[in-house]
Amino acid sequence: MRIDIITIFPEMFEGPFSHSMIKRAQSKGLAEIHIHNLRDFSENKHRKVDDYPFGGGAGMVMMIQPIASCIEKLKSERMYDEIIFMTPDGVLFDQPMANKLSMAANIILMCGHYKGIDERLREHYFTSEISIGSYVLTGGELAAAVVSDAVIRLLPGVLSDETSALSDSFQDNLLSPPVYTRPSDYAGWVVPEVLMSGNDKEIRKWQYEKSVERTKSRRPDLL
């Protein structure tokens, strides 16, 4: 999988993409992440990428030319399954969406800034728009990192135990059940006996019941 990220702050990705599963995926050749500085595509002598909005109002708007130039260059080099704009008013990102994106070969993530991007870009370039929550961030970089992490960890070979992702919260519209590890008794706090019984059928039944119970309590909207 290849992910191209368009941003005006490429340095923000150095930390998130240099550790843990994303680093492993890149080291093993399972994922490629390419960061593109939008200012490199500006035809303005000062590398400007924003301008005042028509109609007035506070804030600046990201200009068409740099974004269009960057996307056109990338599209001339390969086919993209998705060209995604990270924006607060996009479709809320969820696990099924991550599952779908993990099957793509090439995707572009555009990080928004300021008051947004020129609407004509949204009309003519982007195949989808994604939000990671009903709140506003300074820019789309953190959101792009979140989407990249959620997608890349699903790629075969990234996780040591590939079945682990199948039991994550939201994979079956249920939250994960409680989990425990050694010691079995800590200060009188004991692990449920069924988990140490060795009876796989009863363990799976208990886990399912606890998942349903936890989902009803915390996220009834998933049921």
Q: Are 108 and 158 in contact (CB under 8 A)?
A: no
Q: Which residues make Cβ contacts (< 8 Å) with residue 210, sequence separation at least 6?
A: 177, 178
Please say if the pLDDT value at position 163 is more than 60. Answer: no
Please say if the pLDDT value at position 166 is more than 90. Answer: no
- For residue 159, the model assigns a pLDDT of 86
Average pLDDT over residues 148-155: 96
- For residue 167, the model assigns a pLDDT of 54
Q: How far apart are CA 116 and CA 54, in angstroms?
A: 13
Confidence grade of residue 44 (pLDDT, cut at 50, 70, 90) = very high
Supply the DSSP string of the chain, one letter for each residue.
-EEEEEES-GGGGTTGGGSHHHHHHHHTTS-EEEEEEGGGG--STT---EEPPTT--SS-EE-HHHHHHHHHHHHHHS--SEEEEEEEEEEEP-HHHHHHHTT-SEEEEEE--TT-B-HHHHHHT-SEEEESSSS--SSSHHHHHHHHHHHHTTSTTTSSSTTGGGGSTTTTSSPPPP---S-SEETTEE--GGGGS--HHHHHHHHHHHHHHHHHHH-GGG-
Confidence grade of residue 172 (pLDDT, cut at 50, 70, 90) = confident
What structural domains and CATH numbers belong to the chain?
A: 2-152 (3.40.1280.10), 169-222 (1.10.1270.20)
Residue of 171, 180, 173 whose CA lies nearest to 206: 180
pLDDT in tens, 68-87: 999 999 999 999 999 999 99
Cα separations in angstroms, 52 against 40, 43, 57, 125: 20, 17, 8, 21
Helix axes 141-152, 20-27, angle to 10 degrees: 60
Residue of 37, 40, 30, 35 whose CA lies nearest to 15: 35
Q: How far apart are CA 51 and CA 53, in angstroms?
A: 7
Confidence grade of residue 211 (pLDDT, cut at 50, 70, 90) = very high
Q: Are 92 and 48 in contact (CB under 8 A)?
A: no
**Residue type for position 177:** P
Burial class (CB in 10 A: 0-12, 13-18, 19+), 146: middle
